[in-house]
A = this chain, B = another copy of it.
Amino acid sequence: MTFTRRLQQAIEEKNNPTVMGLDPKPEYVPSFLIEEGMTDGEKIFAFNRHLIDAAKDLIPAVKPQLAYYEALGLDGIKAFHETIRYAKEKGLIVIVDGKRNDIGSTADQYATAYLTDTGFAAYADALTVNPYLGSDGIKPFLEAAAANGKGLFVLVRTSNPSAIDLLDLELKDGRAFYEAVADLVKAWGEPFVGDDGYSPLGAVIGATWPEQADALRMRLPQTFVLVPGYGAQGGSAEDAARLFDKEGKGAIVNASRSLMLAWQKANADSPDAFAEATHMAIVKMRDDLNQALTMAGKKRV
């Protein structure tokens, strides 16, 4: 089955278009999980495991952000591998957030690392990539994704304030730069569109740009959208809802800190309280998103 079909199916089974970001820091880990002599990597894996256990019946996917694991060296990379294996065992879709990019021969190596079925790549379902290098930096990723039933999300409009520095530059032909990127993403993905209407080449579009969202969604009819920027970064459920298609499909919204740190807000430093606090934060986000989709006339009934 194609990646987008698997992803959409998982979203519908859980009735929740939420992906939980796993961007752990050692200081995020509640004390009930910390044992004498644990390394930082062991701490964050224990944290991720409890987050996954609390979330697995409610969400379709997780998105570990590689930077947080790389920051802890080998110990962190080991925690990353254990995390994606564990998430996969629990039936979750794994979107690796690495924003990788390079020339063709090197992009090929990154594709081997995250989009094949060998080694730890087998536990990853999709990878985020940066389009700066143009088509020959995307092609190896896209071919590997298509061949192995996996997916990609290309940065089109990131959620951060300074995204405008480059993305909003106005082109001579009247388009904004990010619109030119979107047009390339559409063209690159076109030959790979599956019978569900989506290509394996998705897009990252932040929930923090509601004014651009409707036009971008129309510009990318065959593109699954990964939506960061919800919650801590300021994007609302209404903002995120704009990036779904008319049937309320084709997008998944990320939340990291608001779910990972729900236990802190609730002062829930025990196994049951941790699970309960995480659970409640996910249910709230799910209901907010579904309500916003209904209000926008996009909800599947």
Question: What is the interface of chain A, defined by CB distance below 8 A to chain B?
Answer: 23, 65, 67-68, 70-74, 77-78, 81, 99-104, 106-107, 109-110, 112-114, 119-120, 130-137, 155, 158-167, 169-173, 177, 180-181, 184, 228, 233
Contacts and interface: CB of A to CB of B under 8 A. Distances in A.
Contact of A181 (B107, B130, B137, B166): B166
Contacts of A106: 23, 65, 67-68
Please tell me how many copies of the chain the complex holds: 2
A contact patch SS: helix
Those 6 A-B pairs whose CB atoms lie nearest each other, nearest first: A134-B165, A134-B162, A67-B109, A136-B162, A103-B160, A70-B113
B73 A81 contact: yes
A166 B67 contact: no
B74 A74 contact: yes
A134 B180 contact: no
Contacts of A164: 134
Contact of A67 (B65, B74, B102, B158): B102
A172 to B, nearest CB: 4
Nearest to A160: B103
A157 to B, nearest CB: 10
A48 B198 CA distance: 43
